[in-house]
Amino acid sequence: MIRIFCELPADLQNAFIPLTHRQTLRYDQVNTAQWDRIKDQAMLKGRSFYAFLMMHEAPPAKKNITGKWEELGTYKSLFTLWKISPE
């Protein structure tokens, strides 16, 4: 699994990231060409992609991280969890 994050509040980020022991990338620091290389390498290893984003972050994240985005859930109308299937 590779998590895709941007603006997690510090208290949530400190609690969430160490518990998952997974690689993380920020959608706002990855362009489409970089994403293509990352997804190809991850897919060879059988990795999955998930994004935990604030509601307003999904539209810009989808521009940099291409693929099929499936919304898995919402928390308090603030955060969404997505599974991303690369195309």
**In the chain, what are the domain boundaries?**
2-85
Percentages helix, strand, coil for the chain (3-state, rounded to 5) are: 45, 35, 25
Residue 51 makes CB contacts below 8 A (sequence gap 6+) with: 3, 4, 5, 27, 58, 61, 65, 69, 80, 81, 82, 84
Give the whole-angstrom CA distance, residue 10 versus residue 30.
Answer: 21
pLDDT at 21: 59
pLDDT at 20: 56
Does residue 1 carry a pLDDT above 50?
no
- Backbone torsions φ then ψ of 52, nearest 5 degrees: -115, 105
Average of per-residue pLDDT across 38-67 = 85
